[in-house]
Structure 1
Amino acid sequence: MSLTFTLDPAVTPALRDGVLDLWVDVSDAGGAVGFVPPVTREDVRPELLRHLVGVQEGRTRLLVGHDEAGEVAATAFLTFNTHRLMTHWVWLYTVMVHPRHQGKGYGRDLLAAAERAAASFDGVGAIRLTCRGGLGLERFYGSCGYKEVGRIPGAIRVAPGDDRDDVIMLLPLG
C-alpha cells in the first residue's frame, strides 16, 4: 500500500479536521512538529489556522497524503520565501506521517512528493527545513538527500533543562 499525494487540495472541513487530528496524534507520539505532548485539538488548532491562512493567501502550498481508507496520513507545508533575495528556495514545514503508518517508507514518499512539488515552482532551486536535534531527524533527512548546512545549539527548549539544537537542512533541486 502507498499514499496518494495531492498538492493544493481543497481545504474542506473534513480535510482541515484530518490535518488537525494528524498533528495532534503526531505531537502526542513525540513528533517534533512544534509541540510537546500531551496536546489537544484546541492547542494545535490556532497553529493550523495560521498555516491555512498562508495557503489561502498563496504564500504556502499544502501537500497531503491520504491512505487507502482516504484518511489524512501525511502532510507537509511548502512556504515561499518572501525576502526578494531568497525567492529561489522554499521552506518545508510541519512534515508529518501518522504514527500508525511510520516504518512503511511513507516519510520518504512524502519528501519525494515535496521535492517534485517544489521543483515545479517557477524559479525554485532548493528546499530548506529545520528540525529538532536529539531525535535522529537529521540522519533521516540526510538519507533523503538533504545536507546539514547549519546548527544553532540549544535553540529549542523542549522543557526546562532540555534544550535541543535547531538543525538547518537544505536540498538542492535539479
Structure 2
Amino acid sequence: MPHDSALDLVQITDPRDVAPELRRELIDCWITVTNTGGAAGFPFPPVGEDDVTPVADRLLSRLDPHRSRLLVARADGLLAGWVVLDRDPYRLVGHWGAVHHLQTRPAFRGRGIGSALVHELRKIARDELGLEQLRLAARGGEGLEDFYGRLGWREIGRWPAALRLAPDDTRDEVLMILAPL
C-alpha cells in the first residue's frame, strides 16, 4: 500500500463507464510509462497520443462484465496505475484469465500500487468471474519475474529470444501463471 496516501481501487466493466477524463488519464499514463522504459505493450519508445489512443480505445471498447475488466488505482485522487483482466470467450479455456498492461505511474512506483492491483485482480478473477487460473506474458530482463514471483506467480516457460527490442537487445518472453486463485 502507498506510504502516504489512501489507495482507491475501482473496477470498470462497461465502456460507457469510462468517463472522458479517465480515458485521458489512462492514455497519459500509458504514454508516460512507456516513455520511461516500462514494459506495458509498446516496446519502441517514444510513443505519443497518436500511437496509444487507438490501442487504448480498442481495449476500453472490449470491456464487458463477463469477459473483460479494467481495474484502476487512485492515490490522492490521481490515477496511480491500472491493469486489465480478460477471460477467454471459448468454453475450453473459459476457466483461465489473462492479465494485460499492468502499469504504475513512475511517480507512484515503490508504494505497493502494482501489488495492490494484482491482489485485487486475483480476488475479482476468483470471486466474480469464477476463474481458476491467471496467466500473463512478461518481457524478460526487466525484473518482472521477481515482482510477480513475490505475489505468488510462477514461471511456466519462456519463448527464448522472442522479443527483439534492438539489434543488440533480444529478450525472452516469460510465461507466468497464478494458480490456484
Bin the TM-score by the shorter chain: over 0.9
> How do 1:30-109 and structure 2 match up within 5 A?
30-35=37-42, 36-55=44-63, 59-68=67-76, 70-109=77-116
| TM-score (normalizing by structure 1) | 0.93
SS in 1 for 2:62: helix
Instruction: Determine the C-alpha separation between the residues in 2 that align with 1:159 and 1:49.
Output: 28
Q: Give unmatched runs, 5+ long, in structure 2.
A: none
SS in 2 for 1:27: helix
Query: Taking every aligned residue pair, what percent have the same amino acid on both sides?
Result: 38
Structure 2 match to 1:24: 31
Instruction: Determine the C-alpha separation between the residues in 2 that align with 1:118 and 1:6.
Output: 14
Structure 2 match to 1:138: 145
Q: Is the aligned partner of 1:148 residue 2:148?
A: no
Structure 2 match to 1:172: 179
Aligned length: 173
User: Is the contact made by 2:66 and 2:129 (CA closer than 8 Å) also made in structure 1?
Assistant: no
SS in 2 for 1:45: helix
Instruction: Determine the C-alpha separation between the residues in 2 that align with 1:55 and 1:159.
Output: 33
